[in-house]
Amino acid sequence: MPIKTIEPQRLYRQIAEQLRSLIVSGEFPFGSRLPAERELAKQLCVSRPSVREALIALEVEKVVEVRGGSGIYVLKPRQRRAAPKNGNQLAEWGPLELMRARELVESEVAALAARNARKSDLQVMDDALQQMRNEVAQGQVPREGDEAFHNAIAQACGNEVLRDTVRGYWQARHGILFERLGDYFEDDVSWDAALAEHAAVLKAIKSRSAVASRSAMNRHLKNAHKRYSASWSRAKPV
């Protein structure tokens, strides 16, 4: 038998595999409720965001079911399906870990944009923000406008590596784990808050203040992380 290359596995995948093994062994039988995220994180000695990412992965595979306001429950084996195959490795990044990276990088990108943005760049940002408003007004999740807004800021920062990095983040944002997490925690209230935060970022960039722009973007992404990390009791039925 030929030797196969050992590939490192993302932390949330390791957590998901361990939970799956416990379910198969009967530690968590069909119909039982899994321990709360906080308790699982404590027992596994990992962060709560990593546990949440693992639970979302298992939910996508129909190993468990999320019941808003109640908890996470184990499904019957016949209801389960294999993990989705995805050729885009960026889409396998953990959503909450991705958002922490965005806090660090995009805050500095916004600061650079405040210094370097041309009038035409500011117009593109204005158009993207208006697109978000239009999408929300039409009852749509404004993901296209959101992506256009952040990419416009990256385009204006004057650094091609940072521009491509932000685009990579958005490729990952289209992954099934992030989309599923958004299904539970994105709603009119969250997007109204996000719109106000985007407007604050644009105002800071237009003021040409790198400090204010960095702060506004960091505040927005921290708040976004909090929204996706909310208690499962606040999750929408999907």
DSSP line for 126-192 = HHHHHHHHHHHHTT---HHHHHHHHHHHHHHTS-HHHHHHHHHHHHHHTSHHHHHHHHHH--HHHHH
CA 55 from centre of chain: 14
Mark whether 104 and 75 lie in a shared domain. Answer: no
Q: Could you report the per-residue pLDDT of 29-87, keeping only the tens digit for each?
A: 999 999 999 999 999 999 898 999 999 999 999 999 988 778 899 998 765 555 555 54
Would 153 be classed as within a structural domain?
yes
**Of 79, 105, 129, which marks where a domain is finished?**
79
> Coil, helix or strand for 238?
coil
Mark whether 74 and 148 lie in a shared domain. Answer: no
Model confidence, pTM: 0.84
Would 1 be classed as within a structural domain?
no
171: number of CA atoms within 13 Å, CB side? Answer: 13
pLDDT for 83:
53
**Of 32, 56, 79, which marks where a domain is finished?**
79
Please state, in angstroms and rounded to a whole number, the distance separating the CA atoms of residues 90 and 168.
Answer: 7
Would 207 be classed as within a structural domain?
yes
Mark whether 114 and 226 lie in a shared domain. Answer: yes
CA angle 192–194–195, rounded 5-degree value: 65
Query: In the structure encoding, which two tokens stand for residue 219, read together?
Result: 């505040």
Q: Could you report the per-residue pLDDT of 149-185, keeping only the tens digit for each?
A: 999 999 999 999 999 999 999 999 888 899 899 988 8
Please state, in angstroms and rounded to a whole number, the distance separating the CA atoms of residues 158 and 207.
Answer: 17
Mark whether 18 and 63 lie in a shared domain. Answer: yes
Mark whether 147 and 217 lie in a shared domain. Answer: yes
Mark whether 22 and 102 lie in a shared domain. Answer: no
Is residue 71 within 8 Å of residue 38, measured between CB atoms? no
pLDDT for 5:
46
Burial 26-61 (b: 16+ CB within 10 A, else e): eebeeeeebbebeebbeebebbebbbbbbbbbbbbb
Cβ-based neighbour number of residue 194 at 10 Å:
19
pLDDT for 79:
54
Q: Could you report the per-residue pLDDT of 79-135, keeping only the tens digit for each?
A: 555 555 554 555 578 899 999 999 999 999 999 999 999 999 999 999 999 999 999
Residues in CB range of 75: below 8 A, 6 or more apart: 30, 62, 63, 64, 65
- Domain of 140 in residue numbering reads as 89-234
